[in-house]
Structure 1
């Protein structure tokens, strides 16, 4: 078996490797380091968590051990898609170059330009940067790339997803044609392959695993989840996440929970903290100082749950992550491989669990096609019971309340009938007569007054709900014959002394 001491690395570099506790290189390291030391371009393709970072850091330190950098002209350049990955590469240089006198500078967003300009002015051997901040320094006239001897593009497929490919092409055009290029990626999309054909010269292709394959040390599983109601999906999904965490018990020493959206990252982190879990969010909208503090706390074991967007899915090396929970199914199938690659690193065992809602089934099918195998289904730990939050009313109580209201509105008349027995004659009354009876019971009868109108010998005409006169009353038929003698618009209860004035006008 090959050892680092057999790879022709600088003895001081080998000493730093041994002090870090490593002896045997991973397959990607054993395949990429020899051609890189020969000065050849390298195209490395390997799944995440296989040690690609050391695969280019170690030969770079060996190649740059001799020589000295000039002001504003770095000797090597490492491009990373995210701030966290760039900071991690910088830590690797500090670890493996501690016995070699090399200087480095880290150019990332969220940090003052002044400090970065001061480091560049002194001259750096290794410049580690994100594409946007690097071009900012170049456009301000603070940086020249004509002295770059070795250029590294790390996580190239993530660069493609984040829209950095035009920036990468521009940066390539600013570096010397004679540079050595080390290109590393977990997948080879057509656009990535076009760039390698354009900017790499006869590269040594090192592919140690099938593209976008998951590590065999990771136990995978998925819960097919369907909410009881659409408006309760988020609440029930968070309850399911807590149930999955509780089901792992002490085996879940720490975990990363991935969400697709930044807003969901904040909501899930807040929910877990509310229920007593030690959790904190990390995503692109947070200040760099807060992101760094959160990530350091997770690495040191002070934080148990890291709730993250895909900004933390690529390249972050936290060796002892026991679990990964995908709160959302990733939109891109390749992102699933990178997410679960945060666990099961360096030969350790890991476990990855995912929650799949009906709307995510299309993306889930794409993941299984990419992996070329089925992900085992996990039974819902909550069973058929609908999980409820502490602040929301139970769904069954809300439903029963609605049903009771509707039943009261629909059967109000039937219950009033059951309240007291009625005769057959009463049952045949029109609906308006029932209403009149109810109003008579509610309103007190007025005191007796001196009669000012004709005796009410004739019964009042009753109208049905359809607006037609009820012909069942002979008195009503009699009043209908006198309709022409009535004053239109004055109603049926017009006093006699008012009607008399109208009668005089008619006869006069």
Structure 2
């Protein structure tokens, strides 16, 4: 039975002309059929073309760029070469996720990969670089440090991938990315992946990185995930939100839940209050060292803790199967941030729930997110914790009688005649000098000068001095 299922999965990808070791790895990893982004990207990338692709979060784009690179590395073996493929990602969590995908698919090949990120001991990374892994997965900052000291060498790189390029723009990593690209040879294949290609700065970055690229857009950048339900719960203040969050996490049925705060301090405070209330929770933010981040993620992935409280820095790159609930303790700063947060749930065909706790100062921002994404958000209430704030007051329309009265006044001012419907002529202002000159003969004007028209009687004023 198992061999039959593996054969079906391999047959689904066989039309993409992948090597037999990769097909076996794909089947073992449980990939049954190519996702839309994989079906669109793989044929183009296997031809060696540069491309820029936009697809929804969780659409399978990691395998979409790893598989063609691995296939081309197998087709063109170079045992004495250094690193030949570079994958740049914005966060350490996303780097670990890409490495996990590589290990899942490359189990029947002899290809190797290494991760270079900040927060880890440099000597371990130097040893990994000396082993010349075929694929290097890195965050820009730490890799640039190794390049500046000569510990990393990109001379043999033939494939470069920029994953989550829009996130790199948000984090101000563009200068480091450009500096890294200057260390790589010009003859290479480059792939750029982003949640949206319409973001300001993406096109400029693509022009610098890519040559005659193919553009692929699978989903509208504002398209919300179809398997996610959206709710808002109105709140009064931070203390009220803390009580609502605690009740929500203790009453709801879920295996794993992600709670997002806009700041590191907010994430730490929320995590401490949940732990004090007996909720199994851990906190993830950008100030943790790599060892602590790995420990936190390991606890969450294993199910030892059921709640992960994260700051905005960790919103992307978190891919934990079985996450059923996402809670926005703070309303995200933009619709794109909301999309990436909510995209942590509702994966692999399972339904997910995204709940936002909204206070009065956040109301307008939440409304703008709804309009931006075109989503319908259901209102929910937690028993015993209903907010005094119930949204902005509705503006009442003026009564019909008042409207009629105003119209009647305007018509009277304009001199409307109710009898025949004809408007009276506007009353002209009578001047005193005109009354004095009634019955008097007007003096003839001077004769026009030769060559002048009918208005020649006008004499321009003389210049002063």
Q: Same fold (TM over 0.5)?
A: yes
Say which of 145, 162, 166 aligns to 1:136: 145
Contact 1:48 1:315 in 2 (8 A): no
**Within the alignment, does 1:238 sit opposite 2:238 as a pair?**
no
| Structure 1 ranges of 4+ moved more than 4 A | 383-386
- Pair 1:68 & 2:78 matched: yes
* Correspondence 1:213 to 2:217: no
TM-score after normalising by structure 1: 0.72
Q: Map 1:35-54; keep pairs closer than 5 Å.
A: 35-54=44-63
Q: For residue 176 of structure 1, report the CA deviation from its aligned partner.
A: 1.6
What is the CA distance between 1:380 and its match in structure 2? Answer: 4.3
Answer yes or no: is the 8 Å Cα contact 1:44–1:183 preserved in 2: yes
The equivalent of 1:283 in structure 2 is 285
1:138-157 to 2 correspondence within 5 Å?
138-157=147-166
Of the candidates 259, 268, 271, which is equivalent to residue 270 of structure 2? Answer: 268
Give per-residue Cα distances to partners, 1:419-447, cap 9 Å, x unaligned. xxxxxxxxxxxxxxxxxxxxxxxxxxxxx
Structure with the larger helix share: 1
Superposed counterparts of 1:48-447, under 5 Å: 48-65=57-74, 66-68=76-78, 70=80, 73-188=82-197, 189-226=199-236, 233-248=237-252, 250=253, 252-384=254-386
Bigger CA drift: 205-214 or 36-45? Answer: 205-214
Match for 1:5 among 11, 14, 21?
14
- Report if aligned partners of 2:234, 2:386 keep a CA contact under 8 Å in 1: no
On the 8 A contact 2:144/2:179 being kept in 1, the answer is: no
Structure 1 portions without partners, runs of 5+:
227-232, 387-508
Q: Is the 8 A contact 1:49 1:315 kept in 2?
A: no
The root-mean-square deviation of aligned C-alpha atoms, in Å, is 1.8
- Paired residues of 2:224 and 2:375 also in contact (CA < 8 A): no
Normalized against structure 2, the TM-score is what?
A: 0.78
1:161 to 1:382, Cα distance in 2 relative to 1, 3 A? farther
CA contact under 8 A between 1:78 and 1:152: conserved in structure 2?
Answer: yes
Cα distance in 2 for partners of 1:115, 1:385 equals: 52
CA deviation vs aligned residue, 1:216-257 (integer Å, no higher than 9, x gap): 10011111222xxxxxx2221100112222442x2x221000
Q: CA deviation at 1:310?
A: 2.0
Q: Distance in 2 between matches of 1:17 and 1:373?
A: 35
What is the CA distance between 1:373 and its match in structure 2?
3.1
State the distance in 1 between where 2:140 and 2:387 align. 49
Q: Is the 8 A contact 1:70 1:122 kept in 2?
A: no
CA drift of 1:154 comes to 0.5
Pair 1:24-2:33 in alignment: yes
Computing the radius of gyration from Cα coordinates, the structure with the larger value is 1
Q: CA deviation at 1:88?
A: 1.1
